[in-house]
Structure 1
Amino acid sequence: MKLSFQDYISIKIHKTDLCLTGFIKSKLEPFNLAPEQNLIMMLLWEKDGLTQNQLVESLHKDKTNIARMASNLESKGFIKRIHCNNDRRSVRLYLTEAGKDLGEKVIPIAEKFNDVVCKGISKEELTQLEEILNKMNTNVQCL
Structure 2
Amino acid sequence: MELSFQDYISIKIHKTDLHLTNFVKAKLEPFNLAPEQNLIMMLLWEKDGLTQIQLAQKLNKDKTNVARMASNLERKGFIKRSCCLDDRRSLKLYLTPCGKKLGDQVIPIAEEFNDIVCKDFTKEELVELERLLSKVNKNVQCFL
TM range (shorter): over 0.9
1:44-79 deviation line (CA, Å, top 9, x unaligned): 000000000110110010011000000000000000
1:119-142 deviation line (CA, Å, top 9, x unaligned): 101111111010011111111111
The runs of 5 or more residues in structure 2 that have no matched partner are: none
Q: Alpha-carbon deviation of 1:85?
A: 1.7
* Counterpart Cα distance in 2 of 1:25 and 1:138: 27
CA RMSD of superposed structures (Å)? 0.6
Q: What is the aligned partner in structure 2 of residue 119 from structure 1?
A: 119
SS in 1 for 2:130: helix
Q: What is the aligned partner in structure 2 of residue 74 from structure 1?
A: 74
The one-letter code matched in structure 2 to 1:114 is N
Map 1:48-59 onto structure 2 (within 5 A). 48-59=48-59
TM value normalised by structure 1: 0.98
Q: What is the aligned partner in structure 2 of residue 9 from structure 1?
A: 9
* Counterpart Cα distance in 2 of 1:48 and 1:86: 17
Query: What is the identity percentage for the equivalent residue pairs of Structure 1 and Structure 2?
Result: 75
* Counterpart Cα distance in 1 of 2:81 and 2:50: 10
* Counterpart Cα distance in 2 of 1:129 and 1:11: 17
1:81-119 deviation line (CA, Å, top 9, x unaligned): 011122111110000000000000000000001101111
Q: What is the aligned partner in structure 1 of residue 19 from structure 2?
A: 19
Structure 2 residue 142 is matched with structure 1 residue 138 = no
The one-letter code matched in structure 1 to 2:51 is T
* Counterpart Cα distance in 1 of 2:114 and 2:141: 27
TM value normalised by structure 2: 0.98
SS in 2 for 1:87: coil
Structure 2 residue 128 is matched with structure 1 residue 98 = no
The runs of 5 or more residues in structure 1 that have no matched partner are: none
Number of residues of Structure 1 aligned to a counterpart in Structure 2: 143
